[in-house]
Structure 1
């Protein structure tokens, strides 16, 4: 799903999405936000429970201008998302691209790309939308896997919660490049530069009870 031709190319900044530091790293470009979200599948979902902040790591997928987030029906906060007004949340996604090593400890940093989404989470109750969202969440982690799996049955669906958050109050932030050095530190005898970081997938390990002769799917050999 993509936006219509009339969809703005940027998200409108709000007080919550306007950074107080390093504002030059902030961006609201819709395509950039989508690309950062689409590259990942793990997010951190933040909300307030009993007056205290809570942050949960969980799986997500973007479908058009919505994020779908996976959870359990036994989770009280996700049950609160079933209320008409929804539940106030903040969702963050971050990719670490490199460790930036400067000549001084003060100027050490990281290269990264991140997206922060503010909004209200609403529980998905429509049956077909839930199935679509769960397929999207599976495919966001392993593209092609949803079609190559049994769909959840009624009992499993009853134990699974899916919430959606509209992409309206959104910002991206990133850093790239080498270290920023103080002029007086340039001649110090310390190595400086960037140590790149990227995810690495290992060799697939078959389940102990996998039927002999079951081939490894192409979508795993391509990773």
Structure 2
């Protein structure tokens, strides 16, 4: 999957059992394989809350959470976390709009690409010792960066691409009566509509 060549949005349609969730998992894996964790963040949302459905329903994307690029995994049956997600996503869109301005995000992202290409495995230590060249970005993946580049990053932090992957969007935006996630549906829909309008900033 190529976010620049294929565009910022992708819609996968299909009834239950059609392989839609498996395809989304493949897209997540493809995106992660093509980019470093400090350059790409993935937010995974399972729209079906599992109420009144088979065991395990509503957790189709959970198997992707071991990918280091994944920052959050949400299930629609948690209205508190879903409402917090909607507020955070709206705030992030506003912040990026202020930083990027009218510039195309793909060009801005390329121009602000972090120097250094070496990515080390995640470890329990977190931060390195010595001259401080080894630091932990928000993904907790250690990467090697010259001290000067780090100082520049602190002054103007790079914006990683942020991809929101939703499995079963219909169930997310129109939850069934009695669904625990129904109270948060409105705020989530508004946040996702904002992504549809300005998704190129993510």
Could you say which TM-score interval applies, normalised by the shorter chain?
A: under 0.3
Specify which structure has the bigger relative contact order, considering alpha-carbon pairs within 8 angstroms and separated by 6 or more residues: 2
Choose 1 or 2 for highest CA Rg.
Answer: 1
Question: TM-score of the superposition, structure 2-length normalised?
Answer: 0.25
The structure with more strand, counted as a fraction of residues? 1
